[in-house]
């Protein structure tokens, strides 16, 4: 709710409305109980390019997948509501599709302005573990919440991840871990899609949903699960 009150939706609308291309913005509510739904509904009622989807709490994986499969655009971006990476960074990603890439992802590289040292340390440790357990050696930052896909690629990729997980079930508590983004990119590589990582501006935004220690342990568990899935051949059918 705090991000909504800061005017993030107005900023997104103001930026995209100045572009020559058509656009749609899909907001997926992940079972919030803080008044966000009423706020978003009021905004959407006055902005025809915006669409609201109410969902039970499925976590990031379920919410992002729902939105990406509902989208109709030739290019589809998912972005965090806090706009830690501002919407203007679309301009940094789009040119690479003309160069033949299927997926273009934002990268914070080592410039994680405002991020606590403990989170920077944990992030670096997770990169080492990810490369050792899963791979994805050509990608330095899998976790930046700013990823763009060709429309047909998004359809196939997100349909695959939804099928692999047999849909996404209702959960309780926070579920902001590294597993979804890593699995998504891992499957994309298995599908032989070309991925380009592009540096973007990013500013750390504090959130009460994130517990660095708990989420890190869950992240390691996710990596092991992805490896087990790969060994079991679950991704070969994607």
56 HSE (CA, 13 A, CB side) = 6
236 Cβ contact list (under 8 Å, min separation 6): 190
Write down the pLDDT at residue 113.
60
Stated as kind and residue range, the H or E segment containing 56 is: none
- pLDDT tens, position by position, for the chain (238 residues)? 888 888 999 999 999 999 999 999 999 999 888 889 999 999 999 999 999 999 888 889 999 999 999 999 999 999 999 999 999 999 999 999 999 999 999 998 755 565 667 667 777 788 889 999 998 989 999 999 999 999 999 999 999 999 999 888 877 666 556 799 999 999 999 999 999 999 999 887 765 556 767 777 888 999 999 999 999 999 986 6
Stated as kind and residue range, the H or E segment containing 71 is: none
Q: How far is CA 67 from CA 45, 63, 105, 123, 213, in A?
A: 18, 6, 17, 27, 29
* Spatial separation of the C-alpha atoms in residues 172 and 238, rounded to whole Å: 28
Stated as kind and residue range, the H or E segment containing 77 is: strand 75-79
Write down the pLDDT at residue 92.
97
Question: Phi first, then psi: what are they for 138, rounded to 5°?
Answer: -85, 0
Tokens, residue 163: 């099928």
Q: What ranges do the domains of the chain cover?
A: 2-231
Longest CA–CA separation in the chain, Å: 49
Tokens, residue 112: 């994680």
Tokens 């899909």 identify what position? 26
For β-strands 50-55 and 25-30, DSSP reports them as parallel
192: alpha, beta or left, given left = phi > 0 and alpha = psi -120 to 50?
left
* Spatial separation of the C-alpha atoms in residues 142 and 178, rounded to whole Å: 8
* Spatial separation of the C-alpha atoms in residues 191 and 214, rounded to whole Å: 32
pTM score of the predicted model: 0.89
CATH architecture of 2-231: Alpha-Beta Complex (3.90)
Write down the pLDDT at residue 173.
66
């Amino acid at each position: 709710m705090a991000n909504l009150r800061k005017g993030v939706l107005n900023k997104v609308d103001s930026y995209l409305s100045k572009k020559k291309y058509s656009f749609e913005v899909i907001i997926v509510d992940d079972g919030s109980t803080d008044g966000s739904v009423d706020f978003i509904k009021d905004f959407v009622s006055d902005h025809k390019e915006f669409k609201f989807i109410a969902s039970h709490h499925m976590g990031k994986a379920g919410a992002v997948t729902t939105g990406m499969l509902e989208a109709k655009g030739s290019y589809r971006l998912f972005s965090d509501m806090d706009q830690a990476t501002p919407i203007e960074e679309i301009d940094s990603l789009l040119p690479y599709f003309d160069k033949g890439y299927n997926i273009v992802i934002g990268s914070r590289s080592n410039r994680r302005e405002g991020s606590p040292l403990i989170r920077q340390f944990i992030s670096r440790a997770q990169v080492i573990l990810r490369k050792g357990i899963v791979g994805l050696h050509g990608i330095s930052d899998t976790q930046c919440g700013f990823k763009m896909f060709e429309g047909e690629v998004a359809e196939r990729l997100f349909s695959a991840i939804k099928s692999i997980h047999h849909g996404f079930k209702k959960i309780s508590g926070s579920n902001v871990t590294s597993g979804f983004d890593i699995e998504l990119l891992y499957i994309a590589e298995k599908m032989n899609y070309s991925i380009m990582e592009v540096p973007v501006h990013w500013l750390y935004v504090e959130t009460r949903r994130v517990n660095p220690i708990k989420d890190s342990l869950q992240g390691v568990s996710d990596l092991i699960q992805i490896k087990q899935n790969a060994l079991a051949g679950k991704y070969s059918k994607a």
